[in-house]
Amino acid sequence: MLLSHRARLLELWRIAATYRLDTHLSVEEAPQLQPLARLIRTHPAAWGKKHQPNGIKYALEDMGTLFLKLGQLLSTRRDLVPPEIIAQLVQLQDKVKPFDADIAVAQIEHPKHGLGQSIDTLFARFDIKPLAAASIAQVHTAALHDGREVVVKVVRPDIRTVIVSDFELLRELASWASARIEAARAVHIIDIVEDYRQVMLNELDLTLEADNTIQMRNNFLGSALMYVPEVYDATKNVIVMERIQGVPISQIEVFDQLGYDRAALAEKGLTIFFTQVFRDNFFHADMHPGNVFVETPPVKTLHADMAAVDLGHQPRYIGLDCAIMGTLSKDDQLIVARMLLAVMNNNFTAVVDIVSRAGWIPPNADKHALMRDMKRTVGPMLQKSINDIDFAGVLMQILDIARRHHMSIPPQLMLLLKTLVHVEGLGRDLYPDLDIWSLAKPILSSWIKEQLDPMRNLQQLRQQLPEMLLSTTDIPKLLDQGLQSLASQGSRQDSQLREIQQIRADMLNDRRRDWLALAGFAIFIAIATQVGWFAPLFYLLAVLAVVWRILA
């Protein structure tokens, strides 16, 4: 291991000991963790310290950006992580100290990864004080020379080098744990690290965020549901976007001041989610309150930065920070829709059948035990009145059961379920009596019927027919290539058959030589024991018989 990795390991060891992470390890359930817990306790930083209730949260924050983000990611994986640890991980915040504005300017002006021009050339005004700072990047406000207000997002300097280096270490730790700890293998820790690595590297490349923003903006052009800001310019480390001003979805008192219908606003948010998932198959997968805003009119009592909107129409949502987006295959879309409908209909037999057909549970899994656990744990929750049901709670219970039964859920689907939980949580905060079930059920039923509609499938076939007909022009060529391949394969098979026959003949000849040599050796030895003066001659002949076989 590199010297830098060793130094980093020592630092991580110190932090783990400082916050007594050994007291958070379930060594009773996973005895393999006992050596790790013992190692943490031996560090001087752990001496004299007791269990800290939020030790995992504080430790991950001190370990740096990569581990903080890893904690945030794992906070969504209730299928893998026990509830008592989830309770700590969900507290992780994405607010950090901003970096120096001069460094931000240098990043923007960088000829390769920045915009390649001076700040004065790019902007009529650039605000040195950042509007917001996060673990990956920070945001400054500015104005273009034509008067348009913009925001400039800048990736933190040198963060890529630090994260790549930490990932090398994290992969080594994951491989070590997977080779020695059954619990690590059960949760596919190496796959988690690789998935997380890809997510993090995507977040570091702002051109990907720009592409995602443009695609989502095109999906909602002219929509009364949501507005997505325009992207003006983007490079690997810098993105310049239209400044859209409103208030976060969490500022409920502002909506009350404005007289907004919060029930309608909450339902609109859910409609946006299901539209993204089933109509566009491109959904925002990081919908925490900091990324979900609502348009507001210019009211004196409100923040001066709020943008004017037409009071004659219902306010739209504003889509921000499209770094993490999700897509599903057509099969996965159907699986999700059918599974959600089955949960809504309290049909756990169907749920287990769906996840089994999807290959999410091991072949030797006890399906009846899985179904019984779901009925016993989730069933009572579904007996409540529809307005009292915590849909996110139902999903969390199902994921906890999935973890206990070693269910393997694809990362993209976990991303979707996490987003659904976020959306419902935001909706219920906005309007506590929100009924996600009655809103979602007709949408899902309608979408499934549409997917299975024979006329729709015939129409799709008709649309694809020209392409299919064009592809038939390649049939003669493909047939000729196939025949040539068969002929070549036939000649190869003939050649292989001749080689096999030759090998068989050689083996038979070798066997005959073995028997001849052995017979000669035995005969000459037998004769040598019976004759007197001529015995050396026959011993010599016996030796020559062996030599002949060796050289033959």
Answer yes or no: are the C-beta atoms of 309 and 297 closer than 8 Å.
yes
Whole-angstrom CA distances from 272 to 98, 267, 281, 442 are: 33, 9, 12, 15
* Catalytic entry in 286, 321, 400, 435: 286
Burial per residue of 423-433, b for 16 or more beta-carbon CB atoms within 10 angstroms, e otherwise: bbbbbbebbee
Q: How many whole angstroms separate alpha carbon 303 and alpha carbon 291?
A: 18
Answer yes or no: are the C-beta atoms of 130 and 140 closer than 8 Å.
yes
Angle between helix axes 391-404 and 411-430 (nearest 10 degrees) is 150
3 state SS of 242: strand
The three-point CA angle 73-290-256 to 5° equals: 135
Q: How many whole angstroms separate alpha carbon 519 and alpha carbon 548?
A: 13
Q: How many whole angstroms separate alpha carbon 20 and alpha carbon 50?
A: 7
Pick the closest to residue 53 from 17, 21, 92 (CA basis). Answer: 21
Class of residue 322 by CB neighbours under 10 A (exposed 0-12, middle 13-18, buried 19+): buried
Burial per residue of 478-517, b for 16 or more beta-carbon CB atoms within 10 angstroms, e otherwise: eeeeeeeeeeeeeeeeeeeeeeeeeeeeeeeeeeeeeeeb
Tokens linked to 497: 């058959």
Tokens linked to 532: 């007197």
* Strand duo 231-234 + 246-248: pairing: unpaired
Q: 490-499 long-range contacts, Cβ below 8 Å, gap at least 24?
A: none
134 Rama sector, left if φ>0, alpha if ψ -120 to 50, beta otherwise: beta
Tokens linked to 10: 């020592």
Class of residue 462 by CB neighbours under 10 A (exposed 0-12, middle 13-18, buried 19+): exposed
What are the residues whose beta carbons fall under 8 Å from the beta carbon of 508, sequence distance 6 or more?
none
| Single-letter amino acid code for the residue at 251 | Q
Any catalytic annotation for residue 390? Answer: no
The residue assigned the tokens 């949260």 is 57
Angle between helix axes 3-18 and 159-180 (nearest 10 degrees) is 80
Phi, psi dihedrals of residue 134, rounded to the nearest 5°: -130, -175
Residues identified as active-site: 286
